[in-house]
Amino acid sequence: MFPEKKKYNATWILVAAVLLIEIFKLFPAAVEYLYTNGFYKYYSQLLRKAFGWFPFSIGDLLYTIAIIVALYKSIKAVIKIIRARFSWQVTKNSLLAGLRILLAVYLLFNISWAINYARKGSAHQLEIYVDDYSVNDLQTLASVLNKKTTEAVAEIQAKDSTVWYHFPALANACRESYIEVNKKYPFINYRVLSVKPMIYGKAGAFGGFAGYYNPFTGEAQINNGMPGNSRSQVLCHEMAHQLGYAAEEEANMIGWLAGRESKNPAIKYSAYNDMLVYTIMDLRRKDTLAFKTFRDSLPGLVKKHYQQNKDYYAAYTNSMQAHLDAAYDTFLKANGQEKGKKSYRFVIAWLIAYGKKYGWEAL
């Protein structure tokens, strides 16, 4: 009886711990001060020190092992229930064991990173008020970003873009971008590099993933098979996640701030190009005529890279993506991102708020 009682007690302890975490997340100021700039700041650096020196993705291997073990345990539990002829006691114990595992993983996920979803975040740090925006705001942003991207294109020399295609050089260039942005924004303070190419890059492409942050190992990872022009900005985005910017639009904003400060024109171009594409695509949804005008005025390099990205992902389009997209959309919404996958492009609202506060030329 005693071991059974211990299992029940463990279940209730895990439930109580999860509830305490959820209550704590109701207080953004406390999360920002005690967790993001307290515990998480040092814990994440510890993870990066522990796993960053490995030349391959420990996170990918960890997920592989976890999936294999989960399948094995699930099959074993089902067989046990069938052999017991669906005994309520055996079924209940199996379900409770599964619940304890899920609660433990959820608890670790939150402690390791996900509490950051509840922080005050970049809008608070940048002192901007993020709100809905008009079509006129969108047109203004598109015009400014088009100009900035065109200027970046003019600066690019042949040797600059080689950084996209050699991962060690790319990692160092993105780290240097964060060193530069820290001079302007001290709160963006990146320490201890831990960035990796995904082991299962092609599998990620089939799932529509360009990169991801592993909260259990602290690694920022990208699909190194994607078109080169996207790689630096995706990596800057994932590095922003490492700093505790959990929301996708905020990671986009911080990644852009870092990328635009790069001394390498190709990295700078990638940052502006990424934001320009988000803006133009949003304009297409809201003002077709204005979209066509801006589309025709885009630099040739932007059009070329847009087509490259479109062709790349079209080659991996499959029937499973809709289900994976729906699952990821649900995951984001469950973590407080009401817009789900649309959160990525909601960075537009951050850019517009930034432009209104500091002047459009400050973008």
How far apart CA 85 and CA 133 sit, in angstroms, is 60
171-176 LR contacts (CB < 8 Å, sep 24+): 171/195, 171/235, 173/232, 173/262, 173/264, 173/267, 174/232, 174/235, 174/236, 174/239, 174/258, 174/259, 174/262, 174/267, 175/239, 176/262, 176/263, 176/264
**What's the half-sphere exposure (Cβ side, CA atoms, 13 Å) at 189?**
9
Do residues 214 and 109 lie in contact, with contact meaning Cβ atoms separated by under 8 Å? no
Each residue's pLDDT expressed in tens, for the chain with a length of 363 residues: 446 777 778 889 999 999 999 999 999 999 999 999 999 999 999 999 999 999 999 999 999 999 999 999 889 888 888 888 888 888 888 888 888 999 999 999 999 999 999 999 899 999 998 888 899 999 999 999 999 999 999 998 888 889 999 999 999 999 999 999 999 999 999 999 999 999 877 777 777 778 899 999 999 999 988 888 999 999 999 999 999 999 989 999 999 999 999 999 999 999 999 999 989 888 888 888 888 888 888 888 888 988 888 888 888 776 665 655 566 556 556 666 566 555 567 799 999 999 999 999 999
